Amino acid sequence: MKGIRVGIGYDVHKLVPERKLIIGGVTINYHLGLLGYSDADVLIHAIADALLGAASIGDIGQHFPDTDEKNVGLSGCKMLIEVLNILNANNLKIVNIDSTVILQSPKISNHIIEMRRNISDALELDLGSVSVKATTTEKLGFVGRNEGIASEAIVLLENSK
């Protein structure tokens, strides 16, 4: 795995009542939450998939299957720590992460710095190596109808040896 490697991740979760809304490891006060086997952290799932993809070592479904009871309610930040261990075992270092959360509501701009801190802490990165942005779909599609939230991430890895 020499040189630099780029990975892209994408995730979507449905918004439902009676679930916590957790994005980037931050619990956001909102009347709906994301449905999923784990904590359904759409941002962290996209980042984890991008990291695993860049390393050519599978995806979160392979490493954290919904058929394994230990993954029920699994924290996205704990998932990132495990992904970091996998990268380290493959001599790969994260250079940077750029991500976007795609949602109509709630507004998350006040939470972005905390999301960046959670992600950078879990992955042992400088805060400046993690970007989190948010956008709407101008009320178009399932996101615009507030039926779900999506996220995209792109990462750059380099061989650490």
Q: Count CB neighbours of 6 within 10 A.
A: 12
In the chain, where the domains are located: 4-159
User: H or E segment at 51?
Assistant: helix 42-54
pLDDT recorded at residue 82: 96
Mean pLDDT by 10 residues, the chain (161 residues): 89 97 98 95 98 96 90 91 96 97 97 98 98 97 97 95 74
> What distance in Å separates the CA atoms of residue 122 and residue 13, rounded to the nearest whole number?
22
Superfamily name with CATH number, domain 4-159: 2-C-methyl-D-erythritol 2,4-cyclodiphosphate synthase (3.30.1330.50)
CA-based nearest residue to 47, from 110, 123, 126: 123
Say if residues 84 and 55 touch (Cβ distance below 8 Å): no
pLDDT recorded at residue 17: 97
Measured CA to CA in angstroms, residue 85 lies from 18, 91, 94, 124 at distances of 33, 10, 12, 11
pLDDT recorded at residue 123: 98
